[in-house]
Amino acid sequence: MRRREFMALGGGAAFTWPLTARAQRMAIPAIDFLSPGSPEYDAIRVTALRRGLNEAGYIEGRDVAIEYRWAQNQLDRMPVLAADLVQHPVAVIVAPGLVSTLAATAVTSTVPIVFLFGVDPVDLGLVASLRRPGGNITGLNVFSTELAAKGLELLRELLPATASVGFLANPKNNATEVEARSVLAANQTIGVEIHILHAGTEAEIDAAFAKLARTRAGALIVNADYFFSSRISQLVALAALYAVPTLYPIREFHVAGGLMSYGYDLTEGYRLIGTQVAHILKGEKPADLPVMELSKIELVINVKTAKALGLTMPATLLARANEVIE
């Protein structure tokens, strides 16, 4: 099936549908994939989503139609995209990220929503409990707030003499405040100075690194965020330019030369999302489907980058790494 073609008109959004896509959508259940990211960034994850559906017997184009909506990291577009999708028959909404989940819940309380994000959905009031969500929403939680705190411990192990660490966060991300608090709480036992740096545009990322240099912080944690994951080359290049040891949230950063990444295997997460969607397509209710938790966490270390920064990786870190890049 061809993707829905859409174009922005005067700050709004208008969509044109191929006739074959309309006919197909009427004949088989439709899934809407509502993402704050881009087709390029989500490509691997969409493949994993399809794999989960395939394992449950659903083939895209044969048993189910998938319509893709990407905000291209323009988070102010999410409400418009969400509002449009419920104007058409939708069996399930897949909402990766808290921003897309909140946009979807704002426009429907009946269409099933399957989410993936890193903040406790019970604390946010999105579900009654992880075991029995109780409404039209369920999904997969990765508790990335805990990962950011653990990342601080990893950097401390690598750099025991470091007195200050930067934490790069996107102020446009609803989870930023919660994750910053998590890092600050973890720091109570570590005792370094934490510099919270905000960036929601390419220019602000440049400015954040310049500010980091002025504070003489010895390391940096990049928060898990769709925008940052779309700016991998920029972030890794700036970390090299300023010679700042940096911990990233996903393994894709190591391909560009990132020092370390510590985070969940999101491709496995999206496969699990596919199986969750399949349960709903088979008639199960989101209210009764427990929120899943992703348990596989990966530590990837780039020894070549460490040498370029003049660092020697502790044997304890190397022994715990899932992958070491020489």
Look up the CATH number of the domain holding residue 120.
3.40.50.2300
Contact 134, 108 (CB under 8 A): no
The answer to whether residues 109 and 149 belong to one domain is no
56: tokens are 């449950």
Please classify residue 316 by burial: count the beta carbons closer than 10 Å to its beta carbon, then call 0-12 exposed, 13-18 middle and 19+ buried. exposed
Task: Please report the pLDDT score of residue 26 as a whole number.
Answer: 52
What domain range includes position 190? 144-264+297-325
The answer to whether residues 274 and 316 belong to one domain is no
Three-state secondary-structure class, residue 307:
helix
Contact 219, 247 (CB under 8 A): yes
132: tokens are 């029995």
316: tokens are 């304890």
The answer to whether residues 95 and 212 belong to one domain is no
Contact 33, 66 (CB under 8 A): yes
The answer to whether residues 280 and 311 belong to one domain is no
Task: Please report the pLDDT score of residue 296 as a whole number.
Answer: 80
The answer to whether residues 305 and 172 belong to one domain is yes
Report yes or no on whether pTM surpasses 0.85. Answer: no
The answer to whether residues 256 and 276 belong to one domain is no
Contact 121, 132 (CB under 8 A): no
Contact 127, 115 (CB under 8 A): no
One digit per residue, the tens of pLDDT, for the chain of length 326 reads 333 333 333 333 333 334 444 444 457 999 999 999 899 889 999 999 999 999 999 999 999 999 999 999 888 899 999 999 888 899 999 999 989 999 999 999 999 999 998 888 998 899 999 999 999 999 999 876 678 778 889 999 999 999 999 999 998 877 777 778 878 887 888 889 999 999 999 999 999 999 999 999 999 999 988 889 889 999 999 999 999 999 999 888 988 899 999 988 888 999 999 999 999 999 999 999 999 998 788 999 999 999 999 999 999 999 999 999 98
Contact 120, 143 (CB under 8 A): yes
How open is the CA angle 229-231-236, to the nearest 5 degrees? 100
Burial of 260-284, coded b for 16+ CB within 10 Å and e otherwise, reads bbbbbbbbbbbbbbbbbbbbbbeee
205: tokens are 């990322």
98: tokens are 């808290």
The answer to whether residues 137 and 273 belong to one domain is yes
226: tokens are 């769709």
Q: Which residue has the tokens 């530590």?
A: 299
The structural domain count of the chain equals: 2
The answer to whether residues 17 and 91 belong to one domain is yes
SS3 sequence of 220-270? EEECCCHHHHCCHHHHHHHHHHCCCCEEECCCHHHHCCCCEEEEECHHHHH
In whole angstroms, give the CA distance from residue 169 to residue 225: 8
Task: Please report the pLDDT score of residue 74 as a whole number.
Answer: 87
The answer to whether residues 201 and 53 belong to one domain is no
